[in-house]
Amino acid sequence: MADQTIIHTESLTKIYGMGEIQVKALDGVDLEIRENEFVAVMGPSGSGKSTLMNILGCLDRPTEGRYILAGEDISGLSKSQLARIRNQRIGFVFQSYNLLPNTTALENVMLPMIYNRNNGHQSAVEQKEKALAMLELVNLSDRIHHHPKELSGGQMQRVAIARALINDPVLILADEPTGNLDSKAGQEIMGLMRDLHSRGSTIVMVTHENDIAAHAQRVIHFRDGHIESDQLNGHKTPHPNLAQEANDASQ
Amino acid sequence: MHPSKVIQIAWKGLAKNKLRSLLTMLGVIIGVAAVIIMVSISAGTEKTIEEQITSLGSNLIFISQNFTRMGFGGGPGERGGETGGLVFDDAFAIADQVEGVTGVAVEQQSAETVEFGDVSLDSVEILGTTPDFPAVRDMTIAEGRYFTQQEDDRKQKVAVLGASLAEELFGDATAVGQTVNVGGVKLAVIGVLAERGMVGNVDFDMRLYTPISVVFQKFTPSMFARIMGDRVRMIYAKVDTDQVPMEDIILQIQLLLAKRHDVSLDAADFSITTQQDIISTQESTTAAFRDLLAWVAAVSLVVGGIGIMNIMLVSVTERTREIGLRQAVGATPNDIRWQFLTEALLLSLVGGLIGVLVGVGGAWLFGELGGMRTVVVPTSIVLAFASAAAVGIFFGFYPANKAAQLDPIEALRHE
């Protein structure tokens, strides 16, 4: 299982604008991310990292190139099919949490289940139990009936992480998950991310803080729509597959 | 997504903004209530008119002069008789010769000042009739009696008073046996009619009834009527349709009068109306009135729908981020469309339901307090409620579609 490819892109290109004024946000990106990798994506604004995340998250479609997510070719899917992929394959963690206001932590966590067409076998009770388990995983068992406005930023982000995990995604996409948090809460969230990673999750995280990126195994730098550098974090144990890949590349 | 889940989400969406939801529904509430109340009022009016017309006397045929066909300056000699109009004898001819006619009454009217003691009433309607009148017009005698054929023949100066007229002249005192001064002529009061009320715009209770021969002799009604000689305004024929069909009776009367007046049926100087004709005429008038009211109410329903659309558009804009998030976690365009369409539908259905309650309650209140007769028409409830639902779907579709077509990336970025 460990050598399964989660993300595979071939000359992924995204062009914005029409006619004469065209912007190449992504310019032929080839990327391979395997199961249980923890990847940080960095780069200045306009470098294409947000565009990449949108495409990886199936929120957007590439202009050219192919994207294969966990063996499924995403490139030609319709809006509804993409919604299904987002629902069942991907967990999103946003900078601004994006919890529904006036809705309890538990209900927020259960939100993706509403749109899951594959959980018909689960009873309402089972679904709730699963959501409670996810909240326990992020240490919020004592806050299940709290509304977002009654929670701290760190707690809200933890609810969002529990929500991202609820449909057992193959990929967690985190877009500056600590961007709105103070450093203490930020470290807590990163601790949680590492926990998830150690439990087998595959995580791709956008950040522009080096100390946040330091928590990842692998750091990819973007510039002008293509990969500028793709390195393993020195002080981390390299992932065996990555080490193998690196060896292959050097030979 | 399961429909019950969709409804649950939509309901929560509305419950978050209770005041706004209520205000949005107000348009539909007013629209639906208006339809029901308006229709109930016109149905009530229609029913009242129908009852009044029926109470004019059942199985009546009205034979009136057709003024457009009738010449002036009138005796039979001058114009060969064909323009003579209805005369007194026509009534007797009808009574004698037409099969199925059970009674005939004629009418000629005038207006005089009626005095008794200190009381003086101007322009009281003096109605000259024949003894059959109470029977033909279903009038009941409250006190005394109506005049007889003999009194009519002898031009006896007697009067029968309408209920209100008797009360205004005599108060609580007994009217029968008194003598009233009618335009300088003294008439003996021999009877008072039971209260009858307004029929159309005629107050039956403020009239003085006297033999038609007296009206001809004493109260040459008006310059117009003076020229007319013994012509009558109207002949009422009471018929029994059990033996002879209405069409046959009408045809007999037409032929008889055409022969008597020496005119062809195409150029008749009289016209015949049955009670059913009057009811139908009234019904078509009130139906037009009701339709107008219903249209006005329907317009307010449409305005209510536009209110829903307006608020739903605001709601979609306000909740753009929420929509983006729902899309990100897996809501398909259809899921989003259904969510907002359901919200609009819920608004209009709940509004419609409240509108039905307000409408039925309002119709009842109008009847109780407004002194208006109202009849709640079930089809108007169904129609108004169905229209509300249709309005919800129609005006909810555009905002819902707009929400469904939002780009998740843009939506998530929306502040």
User: Which domains, and CATH codes, for chain A?
Assistant: 5-250 (3.40.50.300)
- Among A53-67, A113-127, A233-247, which is the least confidently predicted range? A233-247
Q: What is the pLDDT of residue A75?
A: 83
CA distance B29 to chain A (A): 28
> Which of A60, A80, A112 comes nearest B332 by C-beta?
A80
Q: What is the dihedral of CA A212, A217, A221, A225, to 10 degrees?
A: -110
CA distance A68 to chain B (A): 18
Contact A115 B409 (CB under 8 A): no
Contact B329 A86 (CB under 8 A): yes
CA B380 to chain centroid, in Å, comes to 18
Q: What is the pLDDT of residue B9?
A: 83
**Interior CA angle at B135 toward B130 and B140, to 5°?**
105
A112 close contact with B: CB closer than 8 A: yes
Contact B329 A88 (CB under 8 A): no
Contact B5 A114 (CB under 8 A): yes
Task: Please check the confidence at residue A38 and state whether its pLDDT lies above 90.
Answer: yes
CA distance B11 to chain A (A): 13
Contact A79 B335 (CB under 8 A): no
Interface probe for A, chosen from B332, B334, B338 (most Cβ of A below 10 Å), is: B332
Chain A nearest-CA residue for B2: A114
Confidence of residue A238 (pLDDT cuts 50, 70, 90): very low
CA distance A216 to chain B (A): 24
Contact B330 A86 (CB under 8 A): yes
What ipTM goes with this model?
0.89
CA distance A100 to chain B (A): 7
Tokens of B359: 């409408």
Contact B9 A114 (CB under 8 A): yes
Q: What is the pLDDT of residue A29?
A: 93
Q: What is the pLDDT of residue A45?
A: 87
CA distance A246 to chain B (A): 34
Q: What is the dihedral of CA B204, B205, B211, B216, to 10 degrees?
A: -70
- Among A95-104, A151-160, B48-57, which is the least confidently predicted range? B48-57
> Which of B321, B331, B412 comes nearest A115 by C-beta?
B331
CA distance B17 to chain A (A): 11
CA distance B300 to chain A (A): 34
CA distance A98 to chain B (A): 7
The count of CB pairs under 8 A between chains A and B is: 59
Task: Please check the confidence at residue A210 and state whether its pLDDT lies above 80.
Answer: yes
Per CB distance under 8 Å, which residues of B are interface residues toward A?
1, 5, 9, 12, 16, 321-322, 324-335, 408-409, 412
Which stretches of chain A are DSSP H helices?
49-56, 79-89, 105-114, 124-137, 153-165, 183-198, 210-213, 240-250
A77 close contact with B: CB closer than 8 A: no
Chain A nearest-CA residue for B333: A80
Contact B1 A115 (CB under 8 A): yes
Contact B330 A83 (CB under 8 A): yes
User: Which residues of chain B neighbour A60 with C-beta distances below 8 Å?
Assistant: 409
A60 close contact with B: CB closer than 8 A: yes
Chain B nearest-CA residue for A83: B330
Contact B331 A92 (CB under 8 A): no
Between B384 and A67, residue with greater pLDDT: A67
User: Which residues of chain B neighbour A54 with C-beta distances below 8 Å?
Assistant: 409
CA neighbor of B343 nearest in space, from B387, B321, B313, B320 = B313
Contact A54 B409 (CB under 8 A): yes
User: Which residues of chain A neighbour B322 with C-beta distances below 8 Å?
Assistant: 100
Contact A167 B328 (CB under 8 A): no
Q: What sign does the dihedral B27-B32-B36-B42 (CA atoms) show?
A: positive
Whether B149 contacts B182, CB under 8 Å: no
Q: What is the pLDDT of residue B330?
A: 93
Helices (H) and strands (E) in chain A, counts: 8, 10
> Which of B9, B322, B328 comes nearest A59 by C-beta?
B328
CA distance B48 to chain A (A): 55
Chain A nearest-CA residue for B411: A59
Element (H, E) at A214: none
Q: What is the pLDDT of residue A199?
A: 92
Give the percent of chain A with pLDDT over 90. Answer: 76
User: Which residues of chain B neighbour A167 with C-beta distances below 8 Å?
Assistant: 330
415 residues of chain B, pLDDT tens digit each = 678 888 888 888 888 888 999 999 998 999 899 888 888 888 888 888 777 777 666 678 888 877 654 444 444 333 333 446 777 778 878 888 888 888 888 887 788 888 888 888 888 888 888 888 888 877 888 889 999 888 888 888 999 999 889 888 888 888 888 899 988 889 999 999 988 777 666 788 889 999 888 887 777 555 555 555 566 778 888 888 777 888 888 888 888 888 888 888 877 788 888 877 877 887 787 778 878 877 887 788 888 889 999 999 999 999 999 999 999 999 999 999 999 999 999 999 999 999 999 999 999 998 888 778 888 889 889 988 898 899 899 999 999 999 999 999 999 988 7
User: Which residues of chain A neighbour B335 with C-beta distances below 8 Å?
Assistant: 83, 115
| Cβ under 8 Å to B: A residues 184-223 | none
- The three-state (H, E, C) secondary structure of chain B, written as one string: CCHHHHHHHHHHHHHCCHHHHHHHHHHHHHHHHHHHHHHHHHHHHHHHHHHHHHHCCCCEEEEEECHHHCCCCCCCCCCCCCCCCCEHHHHHHHHHHCCCEEEEEEEEEEEEEEEECCEEEEEEEEEEECCCHHHHCCCCEEEECCCCHHHHHCCCCEEEECHHHHHHHHCCCCCCCCEEEECCEEEEEEEEECCCCEECCEEHHHEEEEEHHHHHHHCCCCHHHHHHCCECCEEEEEECCCCCCHHHHHHHHHHHHHHHHCCCHHHCCEEEEEHHHHHHHHHHHHHHHHHHHHHHHHHHHHHHHHHHHHHHHHHHHHCHHHHHHHHHCCCCHHHHHHHHHHHHHHHHHHHHHHHHHHHHHHHHHHHHCCCCCCCCCHHHHHHHHHHHHHHHHHHHHHHHHHHHCCCHHHHHHCC
Task: Please check the confidence at residue A248 and state whether its pLDDT lies above 70.
Answer: no
